[in-house]
Structure 1
Amino acid sequence: MTKLIVCLTGMPGAGKSTIAEGLKSKGYDVINMGNAVRKEAQRRNLEPTRSNLGKLMLELREKNGTGAIVELVKPELESSTADVILIDGVRSNEEIQELRKFGTIKLLAIHASTDTRFDFLQKRGRSDDPQTKEHFEERDNRELGVGISNSIALSDYAITNVGLTKDELIETSFKIIKNWIN
């Protein structure tokens, strides 16, 4: 069977990582694109600040093309033995094209309101999460600048993460992926 690669896409704080973490127990491998950039920052001895990670993400794309982050996760993709791989944080059509080399692609978009996303990011506690509305808007604009709206628009299915509990969000995603498998 060809691997099913489920690309989770959506604006920062919409619920992509919540879904990915929640579905690990189903035997799916999870590859986080943001973590790949964080590891690259560590390799370069860069502090994982909001500013440094944002600049690094843009620099990698500028230097190596808009599918550059897929290059960072290639070893994980190639070594995965799972039938389903979740890619947490796909941001561009070029990344999707690169991922097609590894299996059948399905795009799952997660939508949430600006206020919901900002509240979640403030509570999440990653080193690069925005703590002010200004930083939040700056990050959203950077994501939009690399083409995330295109991957959201091209999604095979979209979940609106408004009023859902964490478990409901995970279960909804699981049902969608099970349908894609069948």
Structure 2
Amino acid sequence: MAKVGVIFGTDTGSTRRVAKTIAKCIGSQADKPVNIRNAGVENLLAYDVLILGTPTYGEGELPGKSTGNQTESWEEFLPRLKGHSFEGKKVALYGLGNQKSYSSNFASALRDIYDAFTECGAEIIGDGWEAAGYKFKFSKAIIDDQFVGLVLDEENQKELTEERIDLWLKGIDQAWS
């Protein structure tokens, strides 16, 4: 059985809460969720399966110091991936966004993580998440009319979060079973 790492980047609590929920749903195969500011590339490479989460800030940006975070986050971490191979690793992504207040860049930061790990040879799982059920103008996280991972809106559709997580995890649980 594969060991699962649940890694998130945030300066607030929503992405962390979702990480904890995901880890709890997976059970003993998932290690305790870790904030990306406390992880190095070597830490991520130690896992067979990674579940990576991010919120989207402002105009579609990753969390990081330039977006007002108190500590480093995905913005500072992703450049450290250069020269590392994630071939043979399975990576599932989840992103948080606000489809009303940030309709023009809804969950767009998720695409930056998708691109970075794809470039490093990771196999992306859990992509192809349907955009139906969301109301927004644009998202960089859409490829072929589907999100590159699970997208949650804790501000406007919190009541759907648990159901969406369960459905998404059922689609990827063979990666660690």
TM-score range, shorter chain: 0.3 to 0.5
TM-score (normalised: structure 2): 0.42
Bigger Rg, which one: 1
The higher-RCO structure (CA 8 Å, 6+ apart) is: 1
Structure ranking higher in helix proportion:
1
